[in-house]
Amino acid sequence: QLELVESGGGLVQPGGSLTLSCVASGVTMYSPIGWFRQAPGKEREAVSCISPQGTITKYADSVNGRFTISRDVAKATVYLQMNNLKFEDTGIYYCAAAGRVCPPMNEYDFWGQGIQVTVSS
Protein backbone atom coordinates (compact mmCIF):
# COMPACT_ATOMS: atom_id res chain seq x y z
CA GLN A 1 0.00 0.00 0.00
CA LEU A 2 1.00 3.60 -0.45
CA GLU A 3 2.84 5.05 2.55
CA LEU A 4 3.70 8.70 3.04
CA VAL A 5 6.39 9.97 5.40
CA GLU A 6 6.92 13.62 6.28
CA SER A 7 10.25 15.11 7.32
CA GLY A 8 11.91 18.49 7.75
CA GLY A 9 9.87 19.85 10.63
CA GLY A 10 11.25 21.51 13.72
CA LEU A 11 11.58 24.80 15.54
CA VAL A 12 11.99 28.05 13.65
CA GLN A 13 11.87 31.73 14.58
CA PRO A 14 9.16 34.06 13.27
CA GLY A 15 10.10 35.29 9.83
CA GLY A 16 12.24 32.24 9.22
CA SER A 17 11.90 29.49 6.66
CA LEU A 18 11.45 25.74 6.72
CA THR A 19 10.97 23.12 4.01
CA LEU A 20 8.93 19.98 4.56
CA SER A 21 9.27 16.82 2.49
CA CYS A 22 6.74 14.08 1.83
CA VAL A 23 8.19 10.85 0.47
CA ALA A 24 6.08 8.03 -0.95
CA SER A 25 6.95 4.35 -0.61
CA GLY A 26 5.29 1.13 -1.69
CA VAL A 27 3.82 2.85 -4.73
CA THR A 28 5.36 5.57 -6.89
CA MET A 29 3.92 8.96 -6.06
CA TYR A 30 1.79 9.95 -9.04
CA SER A 31 -1.24 10.94 -7.01
CA PRO A 32 -2.53 14.43 -6.33
CA ILE A 33 -1.06 15.46 -2.98
CA GLY A 34 -2.23 17.85 -0.32
CA TRP A 35 -0.58 19.39 2.72
CA PHE A 36 -2.68 19.91 5.84
CA ARG A 37 -2.01 21.17 9.33
CA GLN A 38 -3.62 20.96 12.74
CA ALA A 39 -3.00 23.05 15.83
CA PRO A 40 -3.92 21.78 19.32
CA GLY A 41 -7.63 22.25 19.96
CA LYS A 42 -8.35 23.09 16.33
CA GLU A 43 -9.63 21.13 13.36
CA ARG A 44 -7.32 20.02 10.61
CA GLU A 45 -7.19 22.48 7.71
CA ALA A 46 -5.97 22.39 4.13
CA VAL A 47 -2.76 24.29 3.40
CA SER A 48 -1.87 23.48 -0.20
CA CYS A 49 -2.31 20.89 -2.94
CA ILE A 50 -0.62 19.85 -6.16
CA SER A 51 -1.48 17.80 -9.26
CA PRO A 52 0.45 14.63 -10.27
CA GLN A 53 2.92 16.46 -12.53
CA GLY A 54 2.96 19.66 -10.53
CA THR A 55 1.21 21.76 -13.16
CA ILE A 56 -1.63 22.75 -10.85
CA THR A 57 -1.09 24.19 -7.38
CA LYS A 58 -3.41 25.84 -4.89
CA TYR A 59 -2.94 27.53 -1.52
CA ALA A 60 -5.03 28.51 1.44
CA ASP A 61 -5.45 32.26 1.76
CA SER A 62 -3.56 32.19 5.05
CA VAL A 63 -0.35 30.94 3.40
CA ASN A 64 -0.66 32.21 -0.16
CA GLY A 65 2.44 34.15 -1.13
CA ARG A 66 4.51 32.66 1.70
CA PHE A 67 4.38 28.91 1.01
CA THR A 68 5.32 27.06 -2.18
CA ILE A 69 4.38 23.49 -3.00
CA SER A 70 6.40 21.49 -5.54
CA ARG A 71 7.24 17.91 -6.41
CA ASP A 72 10.07 15.82 -7.79
CA VAL A 73 8.39 12.89 -9.52
CA ALA A 74 11.65 10.94 -9.94
CA LYS A 75 12.23 11.09 -6.18
CA ALA A 76 8.55 10.47 -5.38
CA THR A 77 8.71 13.52 -3.16
CA VAL A 78 6.49 16.53 -2.59
CA TYR A 79 7.86 19.61 -0.87
CA LEU A 80 6.33 22.47 1.03
CA GLN A 81 8.64 25.47 1.26
CA MET A 82 7.48 27.77 4.03
CA ASN A 83 8.80 31.33 4.16
CA ASN A 84 8.14 34.25 6.50
CA LEU A 85 6.72 31.89 9.10
CA LYS A 86 4.31 33.24 11.70
CA PHE A 87 3.24 32.03 15.15
CA GLU A 88 -0.09 30.90 13.71
CA ASP A 89 1.70 28.51 11.35
CA THR A 90 2.53 26.29 14.33
CA GLY A 91 0.99 22.83 14.21
CA ILE A 92 1.33 19.27 13.02
CA TYR A 93 1.69 19.11 9.26
CA TYR A 94 0.44 16.15 7.23
CA CYS A 95 0.74 15.16 3.60
CA ALA A 96 -1.98 13.07 2.00
CA ALA A 97 -2.85 11.51 -1.36
CA ALA A 98 -6.16 11.77 -3.20
CA GLY A 99 -7.80 10.42 -6.34
CA ARG A 100 -8.31 13.80 -7.99
CA VAL A 101 -6.69 17.20 -7.88
CA CYS A 102 -7.34 19.33 -4.81
CA PRO A 103 -10.56 17.70 -3.61
CA PRO A 104 -12.26 18.27 -0.25
CA MET A 105 -10.26 16.91 2.69
CA ASN A 106 -12.50 13.86 3.13
CA GLU A 107 -11.46 12.56 -0.31
CA TYR A 108 -7.83 12.07 0.67
CA ASP A 109 -7.32 8.33 1.20
CA PHE A 110 -3.72 8.00 2.37
CA TRP A 111 -2.13 10.07 5.11
CA GLY A 112 1.32 10.46 6.60
CA GLN A 113 1.89 10.38 10.35
CA GLY A 114 2.43 14.11 10.58
CA ILE A 115 5.39 16.23 11.66
CA GLN A 116 5.61 19.10 14.13
CA VAL A 117 6.35 22.65 13.03
CA THR A 118 6.82 25.17 15.81
CA VAL A 119 7.28 28.88 15.20
CA SER A 120 8.62 30.57 18.32
CA SER A 121 11.14 33.22 19.31
Q: What is the mean pLDDT of the chain?
A: 95
Q: How confident is the model at residue 25 (pLDDT cuts 50, 70, 90)?
A: confident
Q: Does residue 105 surpass a pLDDT of 70?
A: yes
Distance CA 109, CA 85 (A): 29
How do residues 26-85 score in pLDDT, each as one tens digit? 766 678 999 999 998 999 999 999 999 999 999 999 999 999 999 998 888 999 999 999
Beta carbons within 8 Å of 66's beta carbon, 6+ residues apart: 82, 83, 84, 85
- The rounded radius of gyration (Å) of the Cα atoms in the chain is 13
